């Protein structure tokens, strides 16, 4: 892949992360819309010497997605930053105290959809890269790249997974990656994600025989079978946890019978559940465990499962230490190494290189009046810059 050599030193000194974040927020990039967010990044990155590739992927019955891969430098070591410019819908606009796509600064806070998740984090990394490139006179002893998708908040079909396939085909294999998700629960520096639990959704349909409730011996009640089959999992925990993970959990999210009559035993009943699982399990082992348990309870049933990501962990080592040292040097605290929370695109990236996640405070992500402290955006820029200096040391 052709990449630029000499970077623009003058451009490097001019990038302000809060300004970039505000410009990104003003792009209403609700999945799958790109809404100009990639253009904002390209306009900031190209003057720094980044070669930018706009990668558009689509499949039948899916929305086409625009992604960005940008790299400066041709040699190793190669550091990659990953993030997403797509955001969730704003909901009731009238409930917001500001324009959700205004990107305004008020009371020391940057407001708008995506401020925390995760346009603020992307802006901080771009500004940090610019700073480090400028410090080195435009010449890096390695490479920096950005993998930016527009399909993280959606089905994740035409986003990071396809960019990774393209990177493999092009020989664009990073040595390390940081995903800029808002990992901190309360204060910048609280938490780094070194892995994520897996997520498996199951749909259990139990069949019976419809009949009159006054003559239950002439019917077979699937609801009763369903409750017996789910009872072993009613406590929610599947294990006691592992070295880096909390216990795996199963939560029933809905039970549907579709029966409007109070005097009829229904013919079928369906339950949907989700398992968040640690590295003691895989999607296949969980399905085998479920079927073995359901078989013991009897009854005619169908079970389908869908796994959106297996559990994974990047063992504490050079990458987590490098980033922890950078965090401590800026904010004076070392982040907890955690695997809590939902899923992220790190579950895909881990097949190419070691990956951890660190970004802004996530208290308002996906909420009305999403916002982040301007000082946190600037401090995160300092952290990312310190991380890059250590990486290239």
| Residues tagged active-site | 86, 152
CA dist., res. 55 & res. 363, Å (int): 32
- If one counts every other C-beta atom within 10 angstroms of the C-beta of residue 108, the result is 10
Beta-sheet strands, E only, within the chain: 51-57, 65-72, 78-84, 105-106, 109-111, 143-149, 176-179, 191-193, 195-196, 198-207, 211-212, 249-256, 264-265, 268-277, 300-309, 312-313, 336-338, 355-357, 371-373
Which of these, 129, 98, 114, 118, lies nearest to 180 by C-alpha position?
118
Whether cis (ω within 30° of 0) applies to the bond prior to 197 is no
Strands 65-72 and 268-277: unpaired
- Burial class, 352, CB count within 10 angstroms (exposed 0-12 / middle 13-18 / buried 19+): middle
What is the SS3 assignment for 349? helix
CA dist., res. 287 & res. 307, Å (int): 10
Strands 109-111 and 371-373: antiparallel
């Amino acid at each position: 892949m052709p990449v630029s050599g000499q970077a623009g030193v003058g451009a490097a000194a001019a990038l302000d992360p809060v300004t970039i974040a505000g410009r990104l927020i003003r792009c209403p990039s609700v999945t799958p819309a790109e809404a100009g967010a990639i253009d904002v990044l390209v306009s900031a990155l190209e003057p720094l010497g980044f070669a930018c590739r706009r990668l558009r992927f689509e499949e039948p019955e899916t929305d086409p997605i625009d992604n960005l891969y940008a790299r400066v430098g041709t040699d190793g070591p190669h550091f990659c930053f990953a993030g997403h410019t797509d955001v969730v819908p704003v909901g009731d606009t009238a409930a917001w105290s500001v324009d959700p796509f205004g990107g305004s600064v008020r009371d020391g806070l940057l407001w708008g959809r995506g401020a925390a998740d995760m346009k603020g984090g992307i802006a901080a990394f771009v500004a940090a890269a610019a700073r480090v490139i400028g410090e080195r006179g435009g010449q890096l002893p390695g490479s920096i790249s950005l993998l930016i998708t527009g399909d993280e908040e959606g089905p994740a079909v035409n986003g990071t997974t396809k960019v990774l396939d393209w990177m493999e085909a092009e020989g664009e294999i990073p040595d390390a990656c940081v995903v800029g998700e808002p990992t901190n629960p309360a204060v910048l520096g609280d938490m780094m994600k070194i892995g994520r639990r897996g997520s498996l959704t199951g749909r259990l349909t139990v069949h019976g025989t419809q009949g009159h409730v006054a003559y239950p011996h002439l019917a077979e009640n699937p609801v009763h079978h369903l409750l017996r089959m789910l009872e072993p999992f009613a406590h929610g925990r599947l294990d006691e946890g592992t070295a880096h993970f909390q216990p795996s959990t199963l939560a029933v999210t809905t039970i549907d019978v579709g029966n409007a009559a109070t005097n009829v035993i229904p013919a079928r009943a369906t339950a949907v559940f989700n398992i968040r699982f640690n590295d003691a399990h895989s999607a296949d082992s969980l399905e085998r465990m479920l079927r073995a348990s359901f078989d013991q309870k009897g009854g005619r049933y169908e079970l389908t499962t869908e796994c959106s990501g297996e559990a994974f962990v990047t063992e504490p080592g050079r990458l987590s230490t490098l980033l922890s040292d950078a965090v401590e040097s800026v904010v004076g605290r070392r982040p907890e190494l955690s695997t809590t929370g939902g899923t992220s695109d790190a579950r895909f990236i881990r097949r190419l290189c070691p990956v951890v996640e660190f970004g802004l405070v996530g208290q308002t992500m996906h909420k009305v009046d999403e916002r982040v402290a301007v000082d946190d955006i600037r401090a995160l820029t300092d952290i990312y810059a310190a991380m890059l200096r250590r990486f290239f040391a």
